[in-house]
Structure 1
Amino acid sequence: MTLTVSDENRVRTLVLDRPEALNAFNEALYDALADALLEAADDPTVAVVLITGNGRAFSAGTDLLEMHRMSTDPGFVRGKHGFIGLVDALVDFPKPLVVAVNGIGLGIGCTIIGLADLAFLSSTARLKCPFTSLGVAPEAASSYLFPALVGRQNAAWALMSSEWISAEEAHAMGLAFRVCAPEDLLATATRHAEVLAAKPISSLVAVKRTMTEPHRAAVRAARDRENAAFAELMGGPANLEALTAFAEGREPDFTRLPAGG
């Protein structure tokens, strides 16, 4: 099982459930979460979706071992939705989306915040956008959403440095709505989700639509630019060095790459 689903008080809680892999997204988890969001969007009994993780991580992002196989094995079979399908499901999700980041949030485990309506972080959570350390490009429209959410310089640091961001730093820059003690995180996020879920779904959908509609074209354009840049860089010298170093348990060395690599 890669995802667990539960309903209470019109809140559907989706728990990323690959704790042994720090809830890293393989194709199966991308598909499971995308399907769950599509189902929740159409379910008249669901008013709010809350996403959190099982174990000590929220999500370690894309499963790098699977990414390495995807980059090097021409016969690799991709999932039904994959990463792009999940991002589309997140962008198009019409109801309030709440995330409770219970631990490490890497890659999509961080950039999903740009697509959430409310983000709650455990005080022990840490975030990282590891794109430059993997030799790839941003994702999930973060190149547009992060500057709008936290300002140009905070976004530049988050997206370019591949450095860890603490929960307190995330809150100070505007990535988090609340920072909670670990033992209070899920209860606090759920309480806020239930406040929203008690309201008329039609009104919640209308509010979200009026907030997001002015940005929809820009988000899709950013996603398309990112996907094109990611596809161009994936499997290139820097990306292969990063993935090989990960598989070999060492730090990547980008200084010896060809010029422009």
Structure 2
Amino acid sequence: MIITKTENRVRTITFDRAQAMNAFNEALYAATSEALHDAAAEPDIAVVVLTGSGRAFCAGTDLQEMPERDTSVPYTEGARGFTRLMDTVIDFPKPMVCAVNGIGVGLGTTLLGFADLVFMSETARLKCPFTSLGIAPEAASTYLLPELVGRQNAAWILMSSQWITAEEARAMGLAWKVCAPEDVLPTAIRYAEQLAAQPIESLVAVKKAMRAPHVDDIRAALARENALIDELIGGPANVKALADFVAAKATPQEQ
């Protein structure tokens, strides 16, 4: 599910479900949370870099699992892997760098709100498809994105379900640097190593101080979003969107 590599006090965590565009299923949620917990606990790890295998950074939550869920349980109560990952990234004490090697959809975009630095391939694109799925945003994106990119840019990203190019993401402030595809991970690691050369306790102190004014607001946004998702999921727009998704997936296999 993931590949980890450590060099020069930098732990690189690679999402490795390339056949599913690195979409999060319960197993990948658990593996990512565990890898981040391990990196936080290891005294010789200073910085974490998140990236994806294949042509995607992360295609969000695996929608193929949604129709199979137990509808008697509120979605956000059943999504234990997502809940644990959110707790993990909110509390992650060390610098977190994202190297967006390819498309980022849903959580593949909103996860960037928790990153301290974001590097994007010039061919990568981002999308928050929540409205097209008939649901509400997640991962505290209704708080984090306005903070990062401004209210109007955030409104467009979260409401339109349209693709955002790497250059648009950089201009908005969602990405820090845009690189050639072959350079995005090496560049991210190079900058991560510069951070990792500093005392870990100082890096942790800086992140703690920067994060402190926002933690309560992030958790409150996450709770509001979860309530709205539970309200909308299973509604007519969501049911139709999931049915269309499943049909589109099935069609090539039937031909």
> Which residue identity is paired with 2:247?
E
How big is each residue's C-alpha offset from its partner over 1:32-68, in whole Å with a ceiling of 9 and x where there is no partner? 0011111111111110000000000001111010122
Specify the alignment match of 1:97 in structure 2. Answer: 96
Specify the alignment match of 2:253 in structure 1. Answer: none
Supply the distance in 2 between the matched residues of 1:68 and 1:80 (Cα, whole angstroms).
Answer: 13
> Which residue identity is paired with 1:228?
A
The 3-state SS of whatever aligns with 2:22 is coil
Specify the alignment match of 2:40 in structure 1. Answer: 41
Q: How far did residue 164 of structure 1 move?
A: 0.2
Off by >4 Å, runs of 4+ in structure 1? 71-74, 78-81
Specify the alignment match of 1:169 in structure 2. Answer: 168
Supply the distance in 1 between the matched residues of 2:193 and 2:79 (Cα, whole angstroms).
Answer: 32
Percentage of pairs with the same residue: 62
> Which residue identity is paired with 2:17?
R
Supply the distance in 2 between the matched residues of 1:81 and 1:187 (Cα, whole angstroms).
Answer: 33
1:85 partnered with 2:84: yes
> Which residue identity is paired with 1:27?
E
Q: How far did residue 80 of structure 1 move?
A: 8.8
Kept in 2, the 8 Å contact 1:71–1:235? The answer is no
TM-score w.r.t. length of structure 2 = 0.93
1:54 partnered with 2:32: no
Specify the alignment match of 1:226 in structure 2. Answer: 225
* Paired residues, number: 247
Q: How far did residue 7 of structure 1 move?
A: 0.6
TM-score w.r.t. length of structure 1 = 0.91
Specify the alignment match of 1:20 in structure 2. Answer: 19
Kept in 2, the 8 Å contact 1:149–1:174? The answer is yes
5+ residue gaps in structure 2? 250-255
CA RMSD of aligned residues (A): 1.7
How big is each residue's C-alpha offset from its partner over 1:207-243, in whole Å with a ceiling of 9 and x where there is no partner? 0000010011101100110111111212222111110
Kept in 2, the 8 Å contact 1:58–1:101? The answer is yes
The 3-state SS of whatever aligns with 2:120 is strand
> Which residue identity is paired with 1:20?
Q
5+ residue gaps in structure 1? 251-261
